[in-house]
Amino acid sequence: MDSQHCITPPIQATWKVSRQLLHYGADCNIKDRDGWTALQAAIVCGKRELVDLLKNTDVSHLMQEMASRKATRSVVVSGLRNVINSGWTSRLLVLLEDGADIDAIDEVGGSTALTHAAWLKADAMVPLLLDHGADVNLRDLDDRTALHWAAEGTYADLVEVLLDRGADVNARDFHGRSVLHWFAIQGCAETVPLLLRSGASVDMQDHCGQTALHWAVASGHAATARRLLKHNASAALPTNDGSTALHIAAYIGYLKMVHLLLRDKERRERRAAATSAAADLGVAVDLAATDANGFTAQTVAELAGYWEVADVLREAAGAAAAAAAAADCNGSCPGPAQDNFHRPKPRLRVSTDPESDYAQTKDGISTVGIRLMSDDVQLWLYERSKLVSSDGA
């Protein structure tokens, strides 16, 4: 063994030298510092002749050992990962045909071969892995399936392949989000019909009670929100903190989204009146709905300083609701020139990067779930309302 690099002789040797070493009893199953055997290195490096030689010597023993170690410390997954990274389908096929543990979890990244291939959008390798028995719904250590990774990367064609192979369209990730949630976050409106035809639940709520519509609104994707509403997504569903899609649009001052939600309300009301379909009214936006602080969307818009949004909501609500909204701030919501509150408005917790999204949540179970209207947002609104109340007293 090379003491400097911890590389065994067969890895560096030519075919002829390797054959001679094996003839005199060299162990082809010895691993280097990285856990690699000569066979794995030969496969990844494309040394077909050396692969055949090593396989003929003791390949069954090698695969039996790997099978017995299955789970997170299975060394064959590192070989699969490197071959997938390289894009060499022929070399992947060698490992698979020799009985590589296809569903083992890689100790480096916590992924399976299939979830890693989906993350890389390895279009040729995903079907190959599935053809060799990879579990399409197997989760990695972050509780994501290959379908989640394809959705997070907005790989619509790969999503379709996985769905055709039996992927669970409503599988939840670490935060309780489905594939539909992720396409709403990324703003892929054109993929929404495919997911819904495949059985996606349009109103599935994540661990914080947020639907795909909440995420589309928060992420600023009007086209995606429009598609969801067209497929009867509920605009009335509150999150765990009582926020509706309208509260979120009001907080970020998204006037276009406010108009979209109000037009959807009018459409549902017209349809309900024409067909006596009272159920339609149950999923339309509710202008009187209040959040955990007791604020309507109009009040949230006023506290956030979005006066055009507040005026639109006031007009839509009518005189009675406007009076109630004024009472939320004790009759003294701040006007454009009346604002002595200097703490910056917190941003919504929207992340389109799955890596940073998960990196922030591994400290404990209490961090499971990403709340859009976080505690910081709710506290900011509450403190602002109290300042307004004291100024108006």
Over residues 373-393, mean pLDDT = 83
Model confidence over 37-64: pLDDT tens digits? 655 555 545 455 555 545 554 444 444 4
Give the separation between CA 232 and CA 230, rounded to whole angstroms: 5
Mean residue pLDDT of the chain comes to 77
Q: Is the pLDDT of residue 67 over 50?
A: no
Give residue 103's pLDDT.
81
Give the separation between CA 232 and CA 204, rounded to whole angstroms: 13
Q: Is the pLDDT of residue 313 over 70?
A: yes
Q: Comparing 201 with 331, which gets the higher pLDDT?
A: 201
Burial (CB count <10 Å: 0-12, 13-18, 19+), residue 110: middle
**Confidence band (pLDDT; 50, 70, 90) for 32?**
low
Model confidence over 81-121: pLDDT tens digits? 777 776 767 777 777 777 677 787 877 678 888 998 898 88
Over residues 178-196, mean pLDDT = 94
Judge contact between 226 and 260, C-beta under 8 A: yes
Q: Which domains does the chain have, with CATH numbers?
A: 172-393 (1.25.40.20)
Phi and psi, residue 184, nearest 5°: -70, -40
Give residue 350's pLDDT.
84
pTM of the full structure: 0.74
Smallest Cα–Cα separation from 253: which of 300, 186, 321?
300
- Dihedral-angle region of residue 110 (phi above 0 means left; psi in -120 to 50 means alpha; beta otherwise): left
Largest CA distance in the chain: 95
* pLDDT-above-90 percentage for the chain: 44
Residue whose entry in the numeric block shows the structure tokens 């396989």:
55
Give residue 41's pLDDT.
57
Judge contact between 76 and 66, C-beta under 8 A: yes
Q: Comparing 39 with 181, which gets the higher pLDDT?
A: 181
* pLDDT-above-70 percentage for the chain: 65
Give residue 228's pLDDT.
97
Highest average pLDDT, of 30-34, 125-129, 202-206, 360-364, comes from 202-206
Rg (CA), the chain: 28
**Confidence band (pLDDT; 50, 70, 90) for 271?**
confident
Q: Is the pLDDT of residue 196 over 50?
A: yes
Phi and psi, residue 105, nearest 5°: -100, 130
Judge contact between 125 and 93, C-beta under 8 A: no
7 forms beta bridges with: 2
Give residue 265's pLDDT.
92
Model confidence over 222-266: pLDDT tens digits? 999 999 999 999 999 999 999 999 999 999 999 999 999 999 999
The Cβ of residue 56 has, within 10 Å, a number of other Cβ atoms equal to 10
Residue whose entry in the numeric block shows the structure tokens 């509920």:
234
Burial (CB count <10 Å: 0-12, 13-18, 19+), residue 10: buried
2 forms beta bridges with: 7
